[in-house]
């Protein structure tokens, strides 16, 4: 019987190790779940507010519509300044969201800077030659802002809904493809004007589709985050 004691002690030791490992896994899973709950609570709120900014943005777009500005010339200035205010608010929302995801800060700051420059060009009626050289770097800033916003959304959704995170990354790929097509169509218009115009028009429609998909994804991401809290 005495020879069996070491075997029994080894079995008890292995049992304790397994038990400790199980408890460690449970503690890890609980901490992981708690982190996602807090993340979903924070981003669900601010993503929803960011999505609701589509309402004032749409109003600004309608106000700046050429048909309306021809009838009421002064309303274009109003629309331009309202658009700037809306963009600043959206940028500040992204900066607020950077408390939990750093990429949002770059997106927010660059979004605000880009729109301020564009508004200044309109307000001071900068000549076309100068506006081109000014708009070129602002386009780069806008591209960086969009990239960081999409990647931040993808990072937030990782662990909460990996499928949605993947869609945000794929949307960025489509965004770049559309921009490259737009650039190509402009070059093509210089060589074959009619064909270039057709390609440009088709690509412009594609760009609008990407922006609509962005809003749909933002709505769904906010909804998923808010639903995640209910499920947990």
Domain tally, the chain? 2
Task: Give the residue with greater pLDDT, 218 vs 131.
Answer: 218
pLDDT for 56: 87
- pLDDT exceeding 70 applies to what percent of the chain? 77
Which domain covers residue 100, as residue numbers? 53-150
Query: Which residues make Cβ contacts (< 8 Å) with residue 158, sequence separation at least 6?
Result: 165
Nearest-angstrom CA–CA distance, 109 and 145: 8
Of the pLDDT bands very low, low, confident and very high (cuts 50, 70, 90), residue 228 is low
Longest alpha-carbon distance in the chain: 104
Both 132 and 110 in a single domain? yes
User: What mean pLDDT is predicted for residues 124-136?
Assistant: 71
Does residue 112 sit in the same domain as residue 38? no
Name the pLDDT band for 28 (thresholds 50, 70, 90).
low
Q: What is the mean pLDDT of residues 159-169?
A: 93
What tokens appear for 184 in the block? Answer: 């190509």
DSSP 3: G
Residue 27 predicted with pLDDT over 60: no
Which of 110, 125, 150 is at the close of a domain? Answer: 150
Nearest to 83 by CA among 65, 109, 113, 61: 61
Q: Are residues 61 and 20 in the same domain?
A: no
Domain final position from 150, 168, 199: 150
Q: For residues 84-113, give the mean pLDDT.
A: 94
Whole-structure pTM value: 0.81
């Amino acid at each position: 019987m005495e020879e069996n004691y070491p075997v029994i002690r080894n079995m008890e030791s292995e049992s304790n190790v397994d038990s400790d490992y199980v408890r460690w896994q449970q503690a890890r899973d609980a901490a992981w779940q708690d982190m996602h709950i807090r993340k979903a609570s924070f981003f669900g709120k601010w993503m929803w507010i960011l999505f609701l900014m589509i309402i004032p943005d749409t109003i600004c777009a309608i106000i700046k519509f050429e048909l309306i500005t021809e009838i009421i010339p002064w309303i274009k200035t109003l629309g331009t300044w309202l658009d700037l205010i809306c963009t600043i608010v959206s940028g500040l929302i992204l900066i607020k969201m950077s408390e939990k995801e750093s990429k949002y800060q770059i997106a927010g700051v660059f979004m605000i800077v880009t729109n301020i420059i564009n508004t200044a060009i309109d307000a001071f009626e900068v000549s076309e030659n100068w506006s081109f050289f000014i708009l070129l770097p602002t386009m780069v800033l806008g591209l960086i802002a969009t990239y960081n916003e999409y990647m931040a959304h993808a990072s937030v959704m990782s662990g909460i809904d990996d499928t949605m995170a993947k869609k945000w990354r794929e949307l960025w790929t489509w965004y770049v493809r559309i921009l490259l097509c737009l650039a190509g169509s402009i070059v093509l218009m210089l060589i074959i004007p009619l064909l270039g115009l057709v390609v440009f028009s088709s690509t412009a429609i594609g760009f609008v589709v990407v922006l609509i998909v962005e809003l749909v994804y933002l709505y769904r991401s906010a909804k998923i985050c808010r639903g995640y809290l209910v499920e947990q």
